[in-house]
Structure 1
Amino acid sequence: MISAGMAMVLAVAACSDPTQDDDTGSAGDEGTNGASEDTTLNAYLYQPPAANWSPMAPANGSDGIVMNLIYDSLLGVDPDYELYPRLAVDMPEISEDGLTITYTLQEGLTWSDGEPFTAEDVVFTYNLMADPDTGSTASGRFADVVGAPEVAAGTADTVTGFTAPDDHTFQIQLAKPNVGLVGLTGNIWIVPQHALESVPIDEMDTTEFFTQAPTVGLGPYVFQEYRTDQYVHLVKNPAFREGEVDIDEIYLRPVTSDVATAQLGTGEMDLVQISPADLETVEALDGIEVGSGPGAGYIRTSVNEKKPYLQDVRLRQAMLYAIDRQQLIDEALGGHAQPVNSSFMNDALPDGLETYEYDPDRARELLAEMNWDPNQVITLTWIPGQRDRDTAATVLESQLGEVGIKLELNQVQPGQLTDMMNNGTYDMTLYGGGNYATEPFAVYAINGCDTFYPTGGNLSYWCNEEFDALMLEANATVDETARYDLYRQAGQIENAEVPMIYLYNPDTIWAHSDRLSGFVPNGDFTNPFWNVQEWSLDG
C-alpha cells in the first residue's frame, strides 16, 4: 500500500521534474519520451557532487560515481568485493620477496581525445597520488614505496619506486613488504599525463581540469557538463575498449530519495538507489526490477577528538549505548541493515566484541563518571537528502538528548562540509561509505595515527599506537592466517576505544526500469556503474 506521503510525491513528480529546465534542450529529456533514437539513461545521484573530479581529492561518494564513469583504473572491485583487472591484463605479479609489484597493461588503448595510453600515464598518476602537495589524501598509503617518503617530505619531486620499464609495464618497488598495497591502490583512477603535466604540482588540486571540465579520460563516458544541483551530463566514449559502450548518454540527477523513487514510477528516472522503506511501494510498480547487494562499508559519525570535550572514550561509549540502533534499522531501513561494532569485516572481524546494545542507563553512568556537562552543545553535521541518514540524525538528537547529551543538527551542502573538514571546525559528521570488505588494511586509512585528515581519512583524529603497530605488522605479514589474526587483535582495540560512533551497514537496494539490461546490483552504492559498458537501454 502506498503511503499518503509517497502518493503526494508521485503526483508532484508526474507533473514536473524539479531537476530539469525546459530550456536545456538535453537528450536526457528526449531519451525519456522516445523523441530521439539515441539512448539516454537518467540515474539517481544520492547527493549533489562537490564538483571536484580529482582522484587526489578527499573521498566523496557522489563525485566518485562520476569519476567511475569518466576515468578507469588498473583494477576494479566486483559485486563480491573481489579485485579484477581493468586497464591491467591480469592481476599483478608480486615477487617472492614481496618487494616488487608488476602490472602488465592492456595494449592499444587510447584516451578519449585519441592520445595513446601508456605506462607513463600510470607512473604520472601514482606520483600525483603519493604527493600531498597535489591535495592527495591518499599519500600515506605509499609510505613503503621506495622514494615516496622523500616526495611526501618535499625533498624529492618524483617517487623512484614507480617505474615504466616499457609502454605496457608498470612496476612498484617497495622498501618492505606491503601486502595490502594492491587492494588499496589498484583501483586508483588514472589521469592523462599529456593533459596535466604542465600544471604546477601545488596547483593540481585547483586546476580547471579537475574543478570544471575533466574532458579527457579512459572511462566509458566523457564528462560534458555539471549544472549545479540539476544534473551531471556524460556522453559515451567511442574510444573505450574499441567502442564497447551502448548507451549514448547518462544524466546523473541529484534529487532526494523520495523524488527519485517517485520519478522511477513516472518513467522520468531509469536507475535509482531506493530506501528500504520504499521497497514495498517500488516492488508494486509496473515495469520495475529490484536487486540488492550487501554493503562494503557502513554509516557512522566521526567524533573530532581535537575538541577537548570530545576526547574521553567514555563519552563515545555512552553515545553508542544511548542509541537504539536496531530500532533505527527497523524503522528507517525496514530491517535491511546490520548494526556495526567495528570497521573490520568478513574474516578480519573479531569474535567477542562489545556489542553496545541499547542501554541508556549505562550511558548515563558513563557520563556521570566523567562529569559530563549537560549544557555542552555538540554539533552533528551532515549532507541531507538520504532518508535513512536524515532519520538517523534526528534519532541521534532525540536519544542522545534523553541521556543528557545536547546534540544540535547542522545540514550543509558538500562544499560547506569540505570547508569544515579542511578547517577542523566540526564536532561530529554523519557519513558513510568505504570498502573494508576487499582489503582489511583499508581500515588503517580511517584510524591510523598518521592518516589524520587531510592526508588520510581519519576524521576523528583518534590515535592508538598499539592499534597502529598491529595493523602495520599485519600488512607486512605474507602468511594469511597470521595476518588476519593480527587484524582481529587490532579490531578488539578499535571496538573498545570507539574512534567513531558505529551505526549500521546498510544493504544497497537498486530499482531500475525493465528497459535497462545488463545491470548487476552492487552493494557499494558509489559504484553502480562498475559494468556499465555491458548495459543497454530499450527505447
Structure 2
Amino acid sequence: MKSMKVLTMILTISLIVTGCNINQKTSTSDQVAQSAINSELIHLTMVKPKTINPILNKDKSVGYVTNLIYDGLFTIDENYDVVPQLVEKYNVSSDGMSVNLKLKDAKWHDGTSVTASDVEYTIGLIQKNSDSPYNVFTQNISSVSVNGTNEVNLKFKDAYAFSIDTLIFPIVCKNQLNSFAEKDITEYKKNLVGNGPYKIAKYEERKGIILEVNKDYYDQLPENIKDIQVGVVPDEESQVSLVMALESDLANVSLDDLSKFYEKEFNITNYEGREYEYLIFNYNNKFLKDVNFRKAIAHSINKQKIQEEGYMDKATLVNFPLNSNSKYYDKSIKPLEYNKEQAKKYLEKVNLSSSEEVKKVNKNSSSSNSSSNEKIDNQKETIKKMILDLNLKIIVNKNNNERIKSAYIICENLKEIGIKSTVQELDDKEMDKALSSKDYDLACVGWELSLIPDASQIIENSGYNDEKLTNYMTSLTKSTSQSNKQEIYKSIQKYVRDNAAFISLVIKDDYIVKNRRLDGKITPNDFDVYDGIANLNIKNE
C-alpha cells in the first residue's frame, strides 16, 4: 500500500468576520468587526474554499474545518492510532479479505439517520474521483454490501494488515448529493448537511462559516462547548498576522513563525508531526555493505546534538519511521547509542575479504608462507589504511537548514572516529539526480509519514534489502491479528536496528498557537489539528 499525503496544501487566510452571534438576524456584512478577544465564539480561519465537500476538497485548512462538520467511520487520535468514530463495532474476517461494520445511531444535521447506504455512496464517490485525497484509501475495496440500515460489509482485493486504518475518510449524505450531477456536488449549497459535532448555521462564500454545536450529536459533548466562527483569508502571512492581532484564536503555524508568538497573549501546543528525518546509505559502496562499518557510523552519530542543534529541540528522537506514541512503535528497542569507542571497535571488525585490495594482500601472504595470524594482521592493516583513505560524500538539500546542520554534525562525528567525509549541499533537482544515480555515500533525507502506520515504503526506499527483512514485511502486511502485527513490527524494528539498515533521526514537531483567552487542552495531530477544540472554554465570558 503506497504512502499517502492526505490534504497537503498550505494553510491560508483572508479577512475575518468577527463577533456576530449566530442567533442575530442582522446580516454579517452589516456588523462592525470586533477583536476575537471580546467574542463569545471561538475564531478560526481557512483559505477561501473551492468546495466544502469533504471528499473533493484538497486544501488542508478547509479539511481541518470540515473535520468538525463530518465524521468518518474511523478517525486518528493524538498518537496517530486509528479509533472508531461512526462505527459502533466491527469484525475483520479471519482471512483479512473483508470487514463487517455496524454503525452507531448517528443523525445527519437535518435529523435523518446516517445509514449504511451513505457509506456505500461515499466509497463509490471517492472511487469515481481519482483526484480525491482519499482515493488511495479506497483502492483496495472491491465491493460494498449494505445489510439493513446500519450494517455494511466491505470486501477487499487483497488481505492487508492496515485495512481498518484506511477507513478514515469522512462520510457524506447520499440523500443530499445523489440527485445532483457530479459537476454540481462541489457547490457549497449542496454540502451544508454533515454528521459531526458542529453544524453549519450560516455560510457566506466570501465571509466564512458560523458553526453551532450539534445538540443531537450521537456522542457526548462537553457541557460548555462553544460555537465557532471560521473566517476566510487570503494567505498564510495573513493567518499569522490575524492570530498575532488577536482576531483569530487558533492557528497551525510553522517553525519559522513560531518565534513571533512567545508572548503573554499566546499558548503554544506542540505535537509530533509526520515529517520524518533519516540517514540512508548507498549500498553500492563496498564499505557500506559491511554491517560493522554501518554500525560504526550509527554509534558515531550524536543524535541528541542533532535534535538540539540541528532541529533546535523542536523534534522527537525516533528509532524507526513510526510516530513514537503509536501502538506499533516499540520503545523497548533501544537505538545504537552514541559511543565513539564502540564505533571504533566496529571499525576494527570491518571485513572486506571480497575487495581487490584485500585479495591482493591474501595472495602475497600466501606466497610468502606467512602464518594465519600474520595474514589476519595484514588484512586488518590494509582495511585500516583503506578506511583512512576514505572520503565519504554526504549529500543534503541546500534548502533545508535543519538537515544541513545535521549533515555537518554527522561529518564532524565521523571525523572523531577517523572517517573523513565531505558535505555537498544540493538544490532540489541536483538532490533528486544524485539519489537516483546513487551519486553519494550518505544522504540526509526526509519522508512524510503516511497516516496509515505502514513503514514498508520507507524501508523499500532506504536501499536496504535482504530476504529476511522481505519476509518480515510480507508477514506484516498480511497479518490480521493486532497482537501479531505488533509482534512482527517489533521484530522488524529490532532487525533494522541490528543491521543498521538506515539511521532514524527525528520526527519534526508541529504547532498550534492558541489565544490565551481560551482555556482547556486540545489534542492535535496532522490529520485533525482541531481535535479537542470542544474542550476549550472562553475565560472572559
- Shift of residue 395, structure 1, vs aligned partner: 0.9
Unmatched segments (≥5 aa) in structure 1? 1-18, 149-158, 201-206, 228-232, 383-389, 436-440, 450-458
2:308 matched residue in structure 1:
330
Give the match for residue 171 of structure 1.
153
1:187 aligns with 2:168: yes
CA shift in 2, pair 1:270/1:134, >3 Å = closer
**Contact persistence 2:496–2:502 (CA under 8 A):** no
For 2:101, the equivalent position in structure 1 comes to 103
1:104-145 CA-to-partner distances (Å, cap 9, x unmatched) read 324463378x987432332243356668955668747864xx
Larger displacement relative to structure 2 (72-81 or 474-483)? 474-483
For residue 171 of structure 1, what is the amino acid of its counterpart? Answer: N
Q: Map 1:114-125 onto structure 2 (within 5 A).
A: 117-125=114-122
Does 2:73 align with 1:74? yes
Alpha-carbon spacing, 1:103–1:480, altered in 2? closer, same or farther (3 Å): closer
Give the match for residue 453 of structure 2: 442
Give me the whole-angstrom Cα distance separating, in 2, the residues matched to 1:271 and 1:51. 22
1:490 and 2:492 aligned: yes
Q: Which whole-Å deviations, capped at 9, do the CAs of 1:258-311 have from their partners, x for residues lacking one? A: x94x8756534422557899999967x445445555x37553258799x999xx
Q: Alignment partner of 2:531: what SS?
A: coil
Contact 2:270 2:510 in 1 (8 A): yes
Structure 2: unaligned runs, 5 residues or longer: 1-11, 20-30, 218-224, 351-385, 413-419
Q: Which amino acid aligns with 1:529?
A: Y
For 1:349, the equivalent position in structure 2 comes to 330
The 8 Å contact of residues 100 and 172 in structure 1, kept in 2 or not, is answered as: yes
The equivalent of 2:250 in structure 1 is 271
SS in 2 for 1:72: coil
Q: CA deviation at 1:79?
A: 3.3
**What CA deviation, in whole Å up to 9, does each residue of 1:304-342 have, x standing for no partner?**
99x999xx7789989867864312322466646442221
Residue aligning to 1:155: none
Distance (Å, rounded) in 2 between the aligned partners of 1:370 and 1:213: 70
2:188 and 2:500 map into 1 onto residues whose CA distance is: 39
Matched residue of 1:442: which SS? coil
Contact 2:102–2:151, Cα closer than 8 Å, also in 1 = yes
Letter in 1 for 2:78: P
TM-fit CA distance, 1:54: 7.0
Q: Does 1:392 align with 2:417?
A: no
Distance 1:430 1:174, change over 3 A: closer
Mapped partners of 2:328, 2:228: distance in 1: 39
- Cα drift, residue 164 of structure 1: 1.7
TM-score by length of 2: 0.59
Q: Looking at CA atoms only, which structure, 1 or 2, has the larger radius of gyration?
A: 2
Change (3 A) 1:20 1:400: same
Counterpart Cα distance in 1 of 2:468 and 2:204 = 47
Map 1:119-268 to 2 at 5 A: 119-127=116-124, 133=130, 139=136, 143=140, 148=141, 159-160=142-143, 162-173=144-155, 180-182=162-164, 184-191=165-172, 195=177, 215=191, 218=194, 219=196, 220=198, 234-237=208-211, 240=214, 242=216, 246-250=227-231, 255=236, 260=240, 266-268=245-247
| AA of the residue aligned to 1:68 | N
Matched to 1:531, the amino acid is G
- Check if 1:531 corresponds to 2:532: yes
User: How has the CA–CA distance of structure 1 residues 266 and 123 changed in structure 2, closer, same or farther, with 3 Å as cutoff?
Assistant: same
Q: Are 1:44 and 1:271, in contact at CA under 8 Å, matched by a contact in 2?
A: no
| Distance apart, 1:212 and its partner CA | 11
Partner of 2:362: none
Secondary structure of residue in 1 paired with 2:228: coil
Distance in 1 separating the partners of 2:131 and 2:13 = 35
Paired residue for 1:430?
446
1:408 is aligned to 425
1:22-37 matches, within 5 Å, as 24=15, 26-27=17-18, 33=35
The amino acid across from 1:121 in the alignment is D
Report how far residue 74 of structure 1 moved.
1.3
Pick closer, same or farther for the CA change 1:333–1:518 going to 2, 3 Å: same
Aligned-residue CA RMSD in angstroms?
Answer: 6.1
Equivalent pair of 2:396/2:403 in contact (CA under 8 Å): no
Distance 1:507 1:94, change over 3 A: same
Identity %: 14
Partners of 1:70 and 1:372 in 2: CA distance: 58
Q: Is the 8 A contact 2:265 2:516 kept in 1?
A: yes
**What TM-score comes out, normalization by structure 1 length?**
0.59
CA distance in 1, matches of 2:309, 2:157: 50
**Separation of aligned partners in 2, 1:250 and 1:333:** 33
Confirm or deny: 8 A CA contact 2:95 2:480 kept in the other structure: no
Amino acid of the residue matched to residue 230 of structure 2? E
Would you say the 8 A contact 2:92–2:99 is kept in 1?
A: yes
Residues 1:64 and 1:302: Cα distance change in structure 2 (over 3 Å): farther
Alignment-derived partner of residue 41 in structure 1: 43
Quick one: which amino acid aligns to residue 108 of structure 2?
T
C-alpha deviations, 1:454-500, integer Å up to 9, x for none?
xxxxx768766643532443455566554422211122344467776
Aligned-partner SS, 1:189: coil
Q: 1:299 aligns with which of 254, 276, 279?
A: 276
Residues 26-76 of structure 1 deviation map (CA, whole Å, 9 limit, x = unaligned): 44997662599673514699xx99999876999x97675355345421122
Change (3 A) 1:395 1:97: closer
Cα pair 1:221 1:234 within 8 Å, conserved: no
Aligned match of 1:230: none
Q: Secondary structure at the match of 2:493?
A: helix
The 8 Å contact of residues 43 and 253 in structure 1, kept in 2 or not, is answered as no
> How far, CA to CA, are the matches of 2:535 and 2:458 in structure 1?
37
Contact 2:208–2:231 (CA under 8 A) maintained in structure 1: yes
What is the distance in 2 between the residues matched to 1:467 and 1:36? 58
Residue 8 of structure 2: aligned partner = none
